[in-house]
Chain A
């Protein structure tokens, strides 16, 4: 079972020697130019465009779009709370899964690893539909829960469940290969010297994996904050109540409020850029 997958993508250690420097100059210039053009047109220009559009009517207008709009402020709060709970849930899961999978051999280990990857290939819309089928008014558990006053759909729990689904593999997939490569030796030594299981976990394991854990948290948070497809199905588009930031972008877009939509989008883009900067910093730190 390979440990490198979709969610553990990262640039490699830069090698000191770049063999391509021997290529003819015009080949190098051509290829570098082409690659820079691809990244510029595909990624850089769209990012610049977000901010240009957001500020197209001036800074005061931008500020009132972001800070002066009660529904947008509410959406910022919703996004932070939902992403916070989903990331916390996936951190606990990631720690448990990596402890079990990296330290022990058991039947079905390979299957378990594959199942952890499953949410990566499942459409967020299908995830949202699944929650509707479970917790909707006509769903499997919905009628009973609604009778008992528990509302999952169109409410915070549904948003958190949907977000946890789409970000499910991120932290586990970061920690499992890391803990496998570290091996159980240090934990075994701690236990044989009389440390309890929890002491070993907090004092040996956590310090060893802290950068990997932080890396996973960053990736997970970025994805959780930006989730659209699954939560869009869950909220049923009820105005002002359960909008997260990405849903707010869509609502303003539907209302043809383009500067408002881009203003909210610029907040999300800024978060994405910040998470990239932190991620790049951790990569340097870990290497």
Chain B
């Protein structure tokens, strides 16, 4: 399609040219280097690197902890979004503003403070650890901190949809004899699915690549609490660039998949008129 306003409005070539230049310099060329280095290995070499028991354990933990954290975020995020939109209570605005904190707080700080809260002498740890719940230096710790970093996504995608719901549909359901719970399940929840899934996908995507917070809480024990990004850093520090690139290429492919999923979900949402 030819440029619509290009004949009247100046700056098309300059702005698009600069956009492409900067995108290439900052994002595409660097990621291209990871790709090039990864595919320069033969398939056998590549497979040997990414299928070692240590790598498989790291991928499995990254994937399962991220998924678990994303589901927790979806559940808790739906609750929080519901309460913030539907109810009036003292401190609502304060709590609403707090929801965004995980986006602004450096992940290293999140990791540091979670490690100390759930450690045996920490505020939560002294209650939980005697009961056998290890929230620091454990897989649970990884899930907890990933839940923290992904928390705003579900709340902030569900909130606007919930606020824009037509109250008449609910009133109609109530007049037809549905109780609140049925109205929620049959009338409200179906309209929230696209937003809820988008939020879930966003927090999952974010969790897959998370490093800064996990490195503090997990203890980084091979085969137990080592996530894939930590393994990549470990390979880099021992100057095993081929290994690091192969391991990173798997994560990079996952990133593209998640980007496609998120795009699909957002098109689905806008198609439904949200």
Contacts and interface: CB of A to CB of B under 8 A. Distances in A.
Interface of A: 1-2, 4-6, 9-15, 17-21, 23-24, 27-28, 31-32, 34-36, 38-39, 41-47, 49-50, 53, 89, 92-93, 95-97, 99-101, 103-107, 112, 114-134, 136, 138-140, 161, 164-165, 168, 184, 187-188, 191-192, 196-197, 200-201, 219, 222-223, 225-229, 232-233, 236, 245-247, 249-250, 253, 258, 261-262, 265, 268-269, 272-273, 275-277, 279-280
Contacts of A53: 113, 116
Contacts of A10: 156
Task: From B101, B108, B123, name the one whose CB has the most chain A CB atoms within 10 angstroms.
Answer: B108
A46 B5 contact: no
B34 A19 contact: no
A18 B88 contact: yes
10 contacts: A2-B270, A46-B113, A53-B113, A104-B16, A127-B30, A129-B245, A165-B30, A196-B10, A236-B237, A265-B112
Nearest to B249: A126
Contacts of B18: 92-93, 96
Interface of B: 1-6, 8-12, 14-16, 18-19, 22-23, 26-31, 33-34, 36-37, 76, 79-80, 82-89, 91, 95-110, 112-114, 116-117, 123-124, 147-148, 151-153, 156-157, 159-160, 163-164, 167, 170, 180, 202, 205-206, 208-212, 215-216, 229, 232-233, 236-237, 241, 244-245, 248, 251-252, 255-256, 258-259, 262-263, 266-267, 269-270
A250 B86 CA distance: 41
B159 A12 contact: yes
A228 B107 contact: yes
B210 A123 contact: yes
A116 B23 contact: yes
B167 A19 contact: yes
B112 A249 contact: yes
A118 B24 CA distance: 12
A45 B124 CA distance: 10
Contacts of B212: 124, 226-229, 232, 246
Nearest to A275: B104
A104 B211 contact: no
B22 A140 contact: no
A49 B87 CA distance: 29
A124 B106 contact: no
Given A38-B80, A134-B30, A228-B108, A96 B252 contact: no
Nearest to B24: A115
A277 B15 CA distance: 33
Contacts of B114: 46
B168 to A, nearest CB: 10
Task: From B14, B266, B269, name the one whose CB has the most chain A CB atoms within 10 angstroms.
Answer: B266
A117 B261 CA distance: 12
A262 B117 CA distance: 12
B117 to A, nearest CB: 6
A249 B112 CA distance: 8
Closest 10 A-B residue pairs measured CB to CB?
A: A226-B106, A20-B86, A123-B209, A228-B212, A130-B30, A197-B10, A229-B211, A2-B266, A9-B156, A35-B83
A161 B26 contact: yes
A125 B106 contact: no
Nearest to A139: B33
Contacts of A126: 31, 34, 209, 229, 232, 248, 251-252, 255
A43 B101 contact: yes
Contact of A19 (B11, B84, B86): B86
Given A23-B180, A120-B205, 12 more contacts: A24-B180, A31-B87, A42-B147, A43-B98, A104-B6, A106-B1, A114-B259, A188-B5, A192-B8, A225-B106, A226-B212, A249-B112
